[in-house]
Copies of this chain bind each other. A is one copy, B any other.
Amino acid sequence: MVRGDAREEVLLPAALKLFARHGVSGTSLQMIADELGVSKAAVYHHHHTKESIVLAVLWPAFEQVAALVERVGSLPAGGARRRALVEGLAEQAVTHRQLYAVMLRDVAVPALVASEPRLAAPFAVLRRELQPDHEPATAPLRVAMFLAGLVAPAGDPEIAQLSDEQLRRGIVDVGERLLDLG
């Protein structure tokens, strides 16, 4: 009997493949085990829930956000730092656009971020750092709408037709309009 392998570097690509084919909600731990040719217990040994697998699949993308937040900390606060953040986030949205499109079509991002302190902390910094200097009452709304807009349209067929360069330029354009970039 061929014994399968449920190590992380095998499990996560197999899970992503099933998520792309069946959606996250249509994929079970049993299906992931079947895809790997292992028992459900072997999968369970690494991840007790599907949500844990979803988080692990998305983790590299979120880690880049944390690294970006740390990197721009050396820039002077204000417009220049906001511009660097927006450009970094646009770059990131382009790099991970396929991942986002697969995952975010049926994963609720606010719940995911709130569920995981390692995600929540850099996002709190990001929200604070992106705030434009003027109109304090609506500034948090403009930031929240910009961040929501980064990930939510990933599955939109019209957005899927944009080239990487159009997507990057479009996100920076929206950032300029909403966030008073320096």
- Going nearest first, the 3 A-B pairs with the smallest beta carbon separation are A145-B149, A148-B152, A144-B153
B residues in contact with A25, CB < 8 Å: 111
B residues in contact with A73, CB < 8 Å: none
Q: Which residues of A contact B (CB under 8 A)?
A: 23, 25, 104-111, 114, 127, 135, 137-138, 140-142, 144-153, 155-156, 158-159, 162, 166-167, 169-171, 173-174, 177-178
- Are B111 and A141 in contact (CB-based, < 8 A)? no
How many copies of the chain does the oligomer comprise?
2
- Are A159 and B144 in contact (CB-based, < 8 A)? yes
Contact among B127, B174, B178 with A141 in the assembled complex (CB-CB below 8 Å): B174
- Are B110 and A155 in contact (CB-based, < 8 A)? yes
Contact among B108, B158, B159 with A108 in the assembled complex (CB-CB below 8 Å): B108
